[in-house]
Structure 1
Amino acid sequence: MNYLKYHLLAVLVTLFVAGSFISSEKLSGVINPFSLTLLRFVIAAAALLPFVLIKVQYRKEIIKALPRSLIMSLFFAIFFICMFEALKTTTPLNTGTLYTLVPFLTALFSIFVFKERITKKMLLVYLIGSAGTCWVIFGGDIKALLAFSLNSGDALFLAGCIAMVCFSISMKLLYRGDQMFVIVFCTLVGGALWMLLALLIFNQPLQWHLLQSNLWLHMGYLALFATLASTLIIQKTTVILGPKKVMAYIYLSPVFVAFLMFFIEGKSIPYIVVPGMLLSLTATIVLQFQAQSNAIKNHMMAATD
């Protein structure tokens, strides 16, 4: 099987996620995070609905896929809630830094769930990747890095990062050969149901009318690209490549944020962050080759048993 296209798709998802940090910051604090996340899931599910209803086979699979999707969507929804809520008391700088822990946490969780190992070499590469992203985020300013401290928003987003790891692991664990449109649609519907339940429990209003026209553009991006397109791609690439390989591309997220800020808001990329970008890129490539090498070794060992 040609895995190149799946790696390219994983890079595309990373680009979508990088853009979501910018849009989420614009929306954070306008209305409550339960309502924002509900709207995000509703728009994405509505966009996918015609493609699911068009085939009888897809419609029949919904009932079978929905229970597993409810588990996956719970983790997915928790991540988005934590991100929106955390950005009220912390900054994209801090959340971007904490998000680089996701690849390492995914590898750590994979030890217990999939019996995978983390070698000393891979651990070093994870640290190099984190160092590279921190370099980019803090602009090579050592004083700013040393001044970094966790607040309540950071702790909340860290919980969201763990939820994202669980979402990635659960996709691989609960996949049963489902049609991708069906499993993604059920995940989006499940996320909307969890958010609706949260609104009722915490007695929160929708307040969708508070979104201005420019904010609807950001919501549209989050729903159609950072949620719908990303979920479709993540589901497919995680099943094919595995969660560790897909999550390793997160190290490129700050690099993409820097380029997006350059193209969208005209903010220049300082030369001081270039070494950090190269470190992040190197760590991502090494992790991909190392994971591929381990997969081949495991396959050969299984064949000889």
Structure 2
Amino acid sequence: MNYVKYHLLALLVTLLVAGSFISSEKLSGVVNPFSLTLLRFVIAAFTLLPFVLFKAQYRKGIIRALPRSLIMSVFFSVFFICMFEALKTTTPLNTGTLYTLVPFLTAIFSIFAFKEKITKKRLVVYLIGSAGTSWIIFGGDIEALLAFSLNGGDALFIGGCISMVCYSISMKFLYRGDEIIVIVFCTLFCGALWMLLALLVFNQPLQWHLLKSDLWFHMGYLALFATLASTFIIQKTTVVLGPSKVMAYIYLNPICVAFLMLFIEGKSIPSIVFPGMIISLIATIVLQFQNRNNANK
């Protein structure tokens, strides 16, 4: 099996997720998070629906996959809700920093779920990776790093990060040889059901009319690329590579954000952050080799 292809796909999804932080910031506070998450799931699911209905094999697989997708979609939905809600009271700077906890938390959860081991060397690499991403996010400003403090939004986003870890673990744990396209559709469909239920329980309005033309562009990106495409890729790569390998690429997230800001908004990358980029890149590569060696044992 060509594992290189799946590592490249994991890199691609890292880039797509990085773009979602930019778009989510634009949408946060305009519409309530339940409604935003519902809309992105609905758009993504309806886009995929014709492809699923086209083949009888896929249609039959929906019934088998729905019960497990109900579980996976809960974790998936909670992450997006926490991100939208957290960005009302915190900053992309803080959320970007906290998101680098996901690889370490995934490794911890994998110990219990898949009996994976975490060595002292691997733990050190996780800490180094977090240091590298922090360097990027804070622009090498030690005073800014020391001034970093958690607020209510940060605490909420930590809960979202834990939910993302559970989503990754559940994908590997609940996979039963299903067609990936079926699992993705069922996850999106069930996620939409959960969000619809949340809207009813918390008596929240849709508010979709508040989205103007430029905001629809960001919603389109979130639905088709950061949700549909990334979910499909994450499902495929996690089944093949395992959650630890896929989540290790998160250390490259700030690098991807920096380059996206460069190409999209013309914001230059300060030279002071290049050491952090190099550290994050090295940590990601080391983790991938460590994960491969552990898998071969």
Q: Shorter-normalised TM-score: what interval?
A: over 0.9
TM superposition shift of 1:174: 0.2
Rounded Cα–Cα distance in structure 2 between residues aligned with 1:63 and 1:221? 29
* In structure 2, distance between residues paired with 1:228 and 1:58: 17
The residue number in structure 1 matching 2:203 is: 203
Match of 2:258 in 1: 258
Counterpart of 2:270 in structure 1 is 270
Structure 1 segment 1-305 matched on structure 2, within 5 A: 1-297=1-297
Name the CA distance, whole Å, in 2 between partners of 1:39 and 1:131.
36
Quote how far apart the aligned CAs of 1:44 are: 0.3
- AA aligned to 2:206 is L
Alignment gaps of 5+ in structure 1: 298-305
Q: Could you list the per-position Cα deviations for residues 223-269 of structure 1 after superposition, in whole angstroms to 9, with x for gaps in the alignment?
A: 00000000000000000000000000000000000000011111100
CA distance in 1, matches of 2:264, 2:31: 25
Distance of 2:2 and 2:121 partners within structure 1 = 27
Structure 1 residue 221 displacement after superposition:
0.2
1:290 Cα deviation from its structure 2 partner: 0.4
Question: In 1, Cα distance between the equivalents of 2:131 and 2:266?
Answer: 26
Distance 1:51 1:251 in 2: 34
Spell out structure 1 runs of 4+ moving beyond 3 A. Answer: none
In 1, Cα distance between the equivalents of 2:110 and 2:31? 36
Secondary structure of the corresponding residue to residue 117 of structure 1? coil
TM-superposed CA distance for 1:50, in Å, is 0.6
Alpha-carbon distance between aligned partners in 1 of 2:59 and 2:116, rounded to the nearest angstrom: 36
- Cα distance between partner residues in 2 of 1:138 and 1:148: 9
Q: CA deviation at 1:220?
A: 0.2
Task: State the 1:2 CA deviation.
Answer: 1.1
5+ long unaligned stretches in structure 2: none
What is the Cα deviation at residue 275 of structure 1?
Answer: 0.3
Q: By how many angstroms is 1:52 displaced?
A: 0.1
Q: Work out the CA distance in 2 between the residues paired with 1:12 and 1:70.
A: 26
User: One-letter code of the match for 1:190?
Assistant: C
Deviation of the 1:98 alpha carbon: 0.1
Counterpart Cα distance in 2 of 1:127 and 1:33? 32
- What is the CA deviation profile of residues 84-107 of structure 1, one whole-angstrom value per residue up to 9, with x for unaligned ones? 000000000000000000000000
- Partner of 1:218, secondary structure, is helix
Q: Distance between the aligned counterparts of 2:30 and 2:6, measured in 1?
A: 36
Alignment correspondent of 1:303: none
Counterpart Cα distance in 2 of 1:240 and 1:278: 27
Post-superposition offset of 1:73? 0.3
Deviations, residues 148-202 of structure 1 (Å, cap 9, x unaligned)? 0000000000000000000000000000000111000000001000000000000
Two-structure CA RMSD over aligned residues (Å): 0.3
Q: Deviations over 1:57-103 (max 9, x none)?
A: 10011011000000000000000000000000000000000000000
**1:93-140 alpha-carbon deviations (Å, 9 max, x no partner):** 000000000000000000111111100000000000000000000000
Q: What is the one-letter code of the residue matched to 2:238?
A: T
How far apart are the structure 2 equivalents of 1:60 and 1:8?
31
- SS of 1:216's equivalent in the other structure is helix
TM-score of the two chains, using structure 1 as the length reference? 0.97
CA distance in structure 1 between the aligned counterparts of 2:273 and 2:128, rounded to whole angstroms: 15
Alpha-carbon separation, structure 2, partners of 1:21 and 1:202: 25
In 1, the alpha carbon distance for the partners of 2:112 and 2:178 equals 25
Q: Equivalents in 2 of 1:167, 1:277: separation in Å? A: 27
Which amino acid is 1:226 matched to? A
